[in-house]
Protein backbone atom coordinates (compact mmCIF):
# COMPACT_ATOMS: atom_id res chain seq x y z
CA UNK A 1 0.00 0.00 0.00
CA UNK A 2 1.77 3.06 -1.26
CA UNK A 3 0.43 6.52 -1.94
CA UNK A 4 1.37 7.16 -5.57
CA UNK A 5 -0.26 10.53 -6.07
CA UNK A 6 0.47 13.77 -4.24
CA UNK A 7 -1.56 16.95 -4.62
CA UNK A 8 0.00 20.38 -4.13
CA UNK A 9 -2.51 23.23 -3.88
CA UNK A 10 -0.42 26.18 -5.09
CA UNK A 11 -3.00 28.65 -6.38
CA UNK A 12 -3.01 30.91 -3.29
CA UNK A 13 -2.19 34.58 -3.81
CA UNK A 14 0.43 34.86 -1.08
CA UNK A 15 -0.76 38.30 -0.03
CA UNK A 16 1.24 38.13 3.21
CA UNK A 17 4.43 38.32 1.17
CA UNK A 18 3.50 41.20 -1.12
CA UNK A 19 5.20 42.81 -2.96
CA UNK A 20 7.53 39.78 -3.34
CA UNK A 21 4.61 37.68 -4.56
CA UNK A 22 3.06 40.23 -6.91
CA UNK A 23 4.33 38.54 -10.07
CA UNK A 24 5.69 35.24 -8.80
CA UNK A 25 4.53 32.27 -6.78
CA UNK A 26 4.88 32.32 -2.98
CA UNK A 27 5.82 28.62 -3.23
CA UNK A 28 8.94 29.71 -5.12
CA UNK A 29 10.27 31.75 -2.18
CA UNK A 30 13.59 30.15 -1.27
CA UNK A 31 14.60 28.59 2.00
CA UNK A 32 18.33 29.21 1.63
CA UNK A 33 18.73 27.97 -1.96
CA UNK A 34 15.70 25.81 -2.70
CA UNK A 35 12.15 27.01 -3.23
CA UNK A 36 9.52 25.95 -0.71
CA UNK A 37 7.74 23.81 -3.29
CA UNK A 38 10.89 21.77 -3.89
CA UNK A 39 11.01 20.76 -0.23
CA UNK A 40 7.35 19.69 -0.46
CA UNK A 41 7.95 17.73 -3.67
CA UNK A 42 11.04 15.99 -2.23
CA UNK A 43 9.02 15.00 0.83
CA UNK A 44 6.30 13.46 -1.36
CA UNK A 45 8.81 11.59 -3.51
CA UNK A 46 10.67 10.26 -0.49
CA UNK A 47 7.33 8.86 0.73
CA UNK A 48 6.88 7.05 -2.60
CA UNK A 49 4.88 9.48 -4.75
CA UNK A 50 5.28 9.08 -8.50
CA UNK A 51 2.66 11.49 -9.77
CA UNK A 52 2.68 15.12 -8.63
CA UNK A 53 -0.52 17.06 -9.18
CA UNK A 54 -0.19 20.83 -8.87
CA UNK A 55 -3.35 22.90 -8.55
CA UNK A 56 -2.15 26.20 -9.90
CA UNK A 57 -3.41 29.67 -10.67
CA UNK A 58 -2.25 32.88 -12.31
CA UNK A 59 1.41 33.94 -11.80
CA UNK A 60 2.42 30.36 -11.09
CA UNK A 61 4.29 29.52 -14.30
CA UNK A 62 7.60 29.59 -12.46
CA UNK A 63 6.52 26.39 -10.64
CA UNK A 64 6.05 24.60 -13.96
CA UNK A 65 9.37 25.92 -15.24
CA UNK A 66 11.12 24.82 -12.06
CA UNK A 67 10.11 21.19 -12.51
CA UNK A 68 10.68 21.21 -16.28
CA UNK A 69 13.94 20.51 -18.11
CA UNK A 70 15.95 23.70 -18.67
CA UNK A 71 17.84 22.95 -21.92
CA UNK A 72 19.62 26.30 -22.34
CA UNK A 73 20.70 26.50 -18.70
CA UNK A 74 21.91 22.89 -18.67
CA UNK A 75 23.83 23.34 -21.95
CA UNK A 76 25.43 26.52 -20.59
CA UNK A 77 26.47 24.87 -17.30
CA UNK A 78 27.80 21.87 -19.24
CA UNK A 79 29.87 24.00 -21.60
CA UNK A 80 31.31 25.96 -18.67
CA UNK A 81 32.22 22.72 -16.89
CA UNK A 82 30.00 23.50 -13.89
CA UNK A 83 29.22 19.85 -13.15
CA UNK A 84 28.09 20.32 -9.56
CA UNK A 85 25.58 23.01 -10.48
CA UNK A 86 24.41 20.96 -13.44
CA UNK A 87 23.68 18.04 -11.12
CA UNK A 88 21.85 20.34 -8.71
CA UNK A 89 19.57 21.44 -11.54
CA UNK A 90 19.09 17.94 -12.94
CA UNK A 91 18.31 16.41 -9.56
CA UNK A 92 15.31 18.67 -8.91
CA UNK A 93 13.05 15.94 -10.26
CA UNK A 94 14.23 12.30 -10.29
CA UNK A 95 13.48 10.16 -13.36
CA UNK A 96 10.10 8.43 -13.49
CA UNK A 97 8.15 11.24 -11.81
CA UNK A 98 5.21 12.75 -13.68
CA UNK A 99 3.93 16.29 -13.11
CA UNK A 100 0.34 17.26 -13.83
CA UNK A 101 -0.86 20.86 -13.70
CA UNK A 102 -4.50 21.77 -13.20
CA UNK A 103 -5.65 25.38 -13.20
CA UNK A 104 -7.94 26.47 -10.37
CA UNK A 105 -9.68 29.31 -12.15
CA UNK A 106 -11.26 30.80 -9.03
CA UNK A 107 -9.81 31.05 -5.53
CA UNK A 108 -12.65 29.16 -3.80
CA UNK A 109 -10.58 27.65 -1.01
CA UNK A 110 -8.45 24.64 -0.11
CA UNK A 111 -11.37 22.21 -0.41
CA UNK A 112 -12.09 23.43 -3.92
CA UNK A 113 -8.39 23.13 -4.85
CA UNK A 114 -8.38 19.50 -3.70
CA UNK A 115 -11.60 18.85 -5.63
CA UNK A 116 -9.87 20.16 -8.79
CA UNK A 117 -7.42 17.23 -8.46
CA UNK A 118 -10.17 14.60 -8.76
CA UNK A 119 -9.79 13.90 -12.52
CA UNK A 120 -6.05 13.27 -11.99
CA UNK A 121 -6.34 11.31 -8.73
CA UNK A 122 -9.30 9.14 -9.71
CA UNK A 123 -10.34 6.38 -7.35
CA UNK A 124 -7.26 5.90 -5.18
CA UNK A 125 -5.92 7.13 -1.86
CA UNK A 126 -3.69 10.20 -2.22
CA UNK A 127 -1.79 12.79 -0.25
CA UNK A 128 -2.09 16.57 -0.01
CA UNK A 129 0.87 18.73 0.91
CA UNK A 130 0.70 22.43 1.70
CA UNK A 131 4.13 23.83 0.81
CA UNK A 132 3.71 26.74 3.27
CA UNK A 133 4.12 24.25 6.10
CA UNK A 134 7.78 23.32 5.90
CA UNK A 135 8.39 20.31 8.12
CA UNK A 136 11.78 19.12 9.22
CA UNK A 137 10.94 15.53 10.21
CA UNK A 138 12.96 14.17 13.08
CA UNK A 139 14.01 10.74 11.82
CA UNK A 140 12.10 10.71 8.55
CA UNK A 141 10.02 13.21 6.56
CA UNK A 142 6.52 13.93 7.91
CA UNK A 143 4.70 12.31 4.98
CA UNK A 144 6.85 9.16 5.29
CA UNK A 145 5.89 9.00 9.00
CA UNK A 146 2.23 9.31 8.01
CA UNK A 147 2.64 6.67 5.32
CA UNK A 148 3.69 4.20 8.05
CA UNK A 149 0.50 4.94 9.98
CA UNK A 150 -1.49 4.58 6.76
CA UNK A 151 0.13 1.22 6.05
CA UNK A 152 -0.78 -0.03 9.49
CA UNK A 153 -4.36 1.25 9.70
CA UNK A 154 -5.34 1.64 6.01
CA UNK A 155 -7.34 4.82 6.63
CA UNK A 156 -7.05 8.57 6.11
CA UNK A 157 -4.32 10.19 8.21
CA UNK A 158 -3.93 13.89 8.97
CA UNK A 159 -0.82 15.47 10.44
CA UNK A 160 -1.38 17.45 13.63
CA UNK A 161 0.54 19.47 16.17
CA UNK A 162 -0.24 21.03 19.56
CA UNK A 163 -0.44 24.82 19.26
CA UNK A 164 -0.90 27.52 21.92
CA UNK A 165 -4.59 28.14 22.72
CA UNK A 166 -4.46 31.71 21.45
CA UNK A 167 -3.40 30.46 17.99
CA UNK A 168 -6.19 27.93 17.40
CA UNK A 169 -8.16 30.34 15.21
CA UNK A 170 -5.49 30.01 12.50
CA UNK A 171 -6.02 26.25 12.07
CA UNK A 172 -8.35 23.34 11.67
CA UNK A 173 -8.68 21.96 15.21
CA UNK A 174 -9.46 18.34 16.09
CA UNK A 175 -10.88 16.46 19.03
CA UNK A 176 -9.66 12.88 19.16
CA UNK A 177 -10.14 9.55 20.83
CA UNK A 178 -6.70 8.07 21.65
CA UNK A 179 -5.61 5.06 19.57
CA UNK A 180 -1.88 4.89 20.34
CA UNK A 181 0.73 7.40 21.57
CA UNK A 182 0.58 10.40 19.24
CA UNK A 183 -2.35 8.90 17.33
CA UNK A 184 -6.05 9.46 17.75
CA UNK A 185 -9.29 8.94 15.86
CA UNK A 186 -10.88 12.26 14.94
CA UNK A 187 -14.25 12.73 16.66
CA UNK A 188 -14.68 16.39 15.73
CA UNK A 189 -12.89 18.80 13.43
CA UNK A 190 -13.57 22.54 13.20
CA UNK A 191 -12.01 25.11 10.87
CA UNK A 192 -10.46 28.14 12.56
CA UNK A 193 -12.54 28.20 15.77
CA UNK A 194 -12.37 30.99 18.33
CA UNK A 195 -10.21 29.91 21.30
CA UNK A 196 -13.32 29.70 23.48
CA UNK A 197 -15.06 27.34 21.01
CA UNK A 198 -12.07 25.15 20.13
CA UNK A 199 -12.48 21.46 21.05
CA UNK A 200 -8.73 21.22 21.86
CA UNK A 201 -5.42 22.79 20.87
CA UNK A 202 -4.49 19.99 18.47
CA UNK A 203 -4.11 21.68 15.09
CA UNK A 204 -4.14 20.27 11.58
CA UNK A 205 -0.94 21.04 9.69
CA UNK A 206 -0.50 20.87 5.94
CA UNK A 207 -0.16 17.11 5.33
CA UNK A 208 -3.10 14.83 4.59
CA UNK A 209 -3.49 11.24 3.37
CA UNK A 210 -7.07 10.90 2.17
CA UNK A 211 -9.35 8.34 0.59
CA UNK A 212 -11.09 9.37 -2.67
CA UNK A 213 -14.40 9.51 -0.79
CA UNK A 214 -13.38 13.06 0.07
CA UNK A 215 -14.11 14.19 -3.52
CA UNK A 216 -17.80 13.25 -3.37
CA UNK A 217 -18.06 15.02 -0.02
CA UNK A 218 -16.26 18.11 -1.29
CA UNK A 219 -18.66 18.28 -4.20
CA UNK A 220 -21.48 18.67 -1.68
CA UNK A 221 -19.64 21.09 0.60
CA UNK A 222 -20.71 24.71 0.40
CA UNK A 223 -18.83 27.80 1.57
CA UNK A 224 -17.67 27.60 5.19
CA UNK A 225 -15.21 29.77 7.17
CA UNK A 226 -14.28 32.85 5.12
CA UNK A 227 -16.86 31.88 2.45
CA UNK A 228 -14.44 29.27 1.06
CA UNK A 229 -15.01 25.56 0.38
CA UNK A 230 -13.11 24.09 3.32
CA UNK A 231 -11.34 20.75 3.24
CA UNK A 232 -11.96 20.63 6.99
CA UNK A 233 -15.75 20.69 6.46
CA UNK A 234 -15.61 17.72 4.08
CA UNK A 235 -13.40 15.84 6.56
CA UNK A 236 -15.96 16.62 9.23
CA UNK A 237 -18.57 14.77 7.15
CA UNK A 238 -16.13 11.98 6.31
CA UNK A 239 -15.55 11.08 9.98
CA UNK A 240 -19.19 10.04 10.19
CA UNK A 241 -18.54 7.37 7.53
CA UNK A 242 -14.87 6.43 7.80
CA UNK A 243 -12.07 6.44 10.35
CA UNK A 244 -9.80 9.46 10.02
CA UNK A 245 -6.69 9.47 12.17
CA UNK A 246 -4.90 12.50 13.60
CA UNK A 247 -1.17 11.87 13.81
CA UNK A 248 1.18 14.06 15.86
CA UNK A 249 4.27 14.04 13.69
CA UNK A 250 7.80 14.07 15.05
CA UNK A 251 9.83 17.05 13.97
CA UNK A 252 9.65 20.81 13.64
CA UNK A 253 7.21 22.76 11.52
CA UNK A 254 7.91 26.21 10.15
CA UNK A 255 4.91 28.27 9.17
CA UNK A 256 6.36 29.71 5.99
CA UNK A 257 3.06 31.43 5.24
CA UNK A 258 4.14 34.00 7.84
CA UNK A 259 7.20 36.23 7.57
CA UNK A 260 8.49 35.25 11.00
CA UNK A 261 8.13 31.51 10.34
CA UNK A 262 9.78 31.96 6.96
CA UNK A 263 12.75 33.80 8.50
CA UNK A 264 13.12 31.16 11.23
CA UNK A 265 13.17 28.41 8.59
CA UNK A 266 15.88 30.23 6.66
CA UNK A 267 18.03 30.59 9.79
CA UNK A 268 17.60 26.93 10.79
CA UNK A 269 18.21 25.53 7.30
CA UNK A 270 21.23 27.82 6.82
CA UNK A 271 22.64 26.45 10.08
CA UNK A 272 22.39 22.95 8.56
CA UNK A 273 23.58 23.86 5.07
CA UNK A 274 26.83 22.05 4.15
CA UNK A 275 28.47 25.11 2.58
CA UNK A 276 27.04 27.82 4.80
CA UNK A 277 26.68 26.36 8.28
CA UNK A 278 30.07 27.38 9.73
CA UNK A 279 30.27 30.91 8.33
CA UNK A 280 26.63 31.61 9.07
CA UNK A 281 26.94 30.36 12.67
CA UNK A 282 29.99 32.58 13.11
CA UNK A 283 28.12 35.58 11.74
CA UNK A 284 25.13 34.92 14.02
CA UNK A 285 27.38 34.56 17.09
CA UNK A 286 29.12 37.84 16.29
CA UNK A 287 25.80 39.56 15.79
CA UNK A 288 24.41 38.21 19.08
CA UNK A 289 27.58 39.16 20.98
CA UNK A 290 27.37 42.66 19.54
CA UNK A 291 23.71 42.86 20.47
CA UNK A 292 24.37 41.67 24.04
CA UNK A 293 27.22 44.16 24.55
CA UNK A 294 24.99 47.13 23.76
CA UNK A 295 23.45 48.97 26.68
CA UNK A 296 19.79 48.06 26.95
CA UNK A 297 17.43 50.75 25.78
CA UNK A 298 15.57 52.30 28.67
CA UNK A 299 12.06 50.89 28.84
CA UNK A 300 9.66 53.21 27.07
CA UNK A 301 7.09 54.91 29.19
C1 LIG B 1 -5.28 25.39 5.97
C2 LIG B 1 -6.40 24.51 6.52
C3 LIG B 1 -6.34 24.43 8.04
C4 LIG B 1 -4.96 23.94 8.45
C5 LIG B 1 -3.87 24.84 7.85
C6 LIG B 1 -2.48 24.26 8.12
O7 LIG B 1 -5.52 26.72 6.40
O8 LIG B 1 -7.64 25.05 6.09
O9 LIG B 1 -7.32 23.55 8.51
O10 LIG B 1 -4.87 23.95 9.87
O11 LIG B 1 -4.01 24.94 6.42
O12 LIG B 1 -1.48 25.11 7.67
P13 LIG B 1 -4.75 27.99 5.76
O14 LIG B 1 -3.45 28.11 6.49
O15 LIG B 1 -4.57 27.69 4.30
O16 LIG B 1 -5.65 29.16 6.02
In ligand 1, which atom is closest to the CA atom of 205?
6
Cβ of 171 closer than 6 Å to ligand 1, yes or no, is yes
Residues 173-200 pLDDT 10s:
999 999 999 999 999 999 999 999 999 9
* Nearest residue to 111 (alpha-carbon basis) of 232, 220, 274, 203: 232
Cβ of 111 closer than 6 Å to ligand 1, yes or no, is no
Q: Is the pLDDT of residue 83 over 90?
A: yes
Distance 247 CA to ligand 1 centre (A): 16
In ligand 1, which atom is closest to the CA atom of 191?
9
What DSSP line would sit under the chain, residue for residue? ----EEEEE-----GGGTTTTSSS-GGG-EETTEEHHHHHHHHHHHTT--EEEEEE-TT-HHHHHHTS--HHHHHHHHHTT-HHHHHHHHTTS-TT-EEEEEE--S---HHHHHHHTHHHH-SS-EEEE-TTEEEEESSS-HHHHHHHHHHHH-SEEEEEEE--GGGGGGSEEEEEEEEETTEEEEEEEEES--GGG-S-SEEEEEEEEE-THHHHHHHT----GGGS--HHHHHHHHTTTS-EEEEE-SEEEEETTSHHHHHHHHHHHHTT-TTTHHHHHHHHHHHHHHHHHSPPPPPP-
Q: Which pLDDT belongs to residue 181?
A: 95
* Nearest-angstrom CA–CA distance, 6 and 188: 25
CB 124 within 8 A of CB 5: yes
Q: Which pLDDT belongs to residue 73?
A: 94
Residues 224-251 pLDDT 10s:
667 789 999 999 999 999 999 999 999 9
Q: Which pLDDT belongs to residue 8?
A: 98
Q: Which pLDDT belongs to residue 216?
A: 97
Q: Which pLDDT belongs to residue 284?
A: 96
Q: Which pLDDT belongs to residue 225?
A: 67
CB atoms within 10 A of CB 283: 12
Cβ of 232 closer than 6 Å to ligand 1, yes or no, is yes
Q: What is the mean pLDDT of the segment spanning 121-125? A: 97
Distance 74 CA to ligand 1 centre (A): 37
Q: What is the mean pLDDT of the segment spanning 85-96? A: 92
Residues 18-32 pLDDT 10s:
998 888 899 999 999
Q: Is the pLDDT of residue 163 over 70?
A: yes
CB atoms within 10 A of CB 97: 16
Residue 293 confidence class, pLDDT cut points 50, 70, 90: confident
Chain-wide mean pLDDT for the chain? 93
* Nearest-angstrom CA–CA distance, 191 and 187: 14
Distance 106 CA to ligand 1 centre (A): 18
Q: Is the pLDDT of residue 301 over 50?
A: no
Q: Which of 110, 142, 229 to mutate to test the pocket of ligand 1 (most atoms within 8 A of CB)?
A: 110
Q: Is the pLDDT of residue 58 over 90?
A: no
Residues 268-279 pLDDT 10s:
999 999 999 999
Q: Which of 170, 229, 249 to mutate to test the pocket of ligand 1 (most atoms within 8 A of CB)?
A: 170
Q: What is the mean pLDDT of the segment spanning 210-226? A: 90
In ligand 1, which atom is closest to the CA atom of 12?
15
Q: Is the pLDDT of residue 37 over 90?
A: yes
Amino acid sequence: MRIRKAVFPVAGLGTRFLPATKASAKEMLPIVDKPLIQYAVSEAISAGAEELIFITGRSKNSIMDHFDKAYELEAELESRGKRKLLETVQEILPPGITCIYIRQAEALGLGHAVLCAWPAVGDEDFSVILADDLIDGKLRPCLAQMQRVYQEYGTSVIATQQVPREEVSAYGIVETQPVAPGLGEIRRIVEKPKPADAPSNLAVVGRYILTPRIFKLLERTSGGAGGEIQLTDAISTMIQEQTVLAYEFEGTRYDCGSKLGYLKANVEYALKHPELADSFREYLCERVAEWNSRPRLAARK
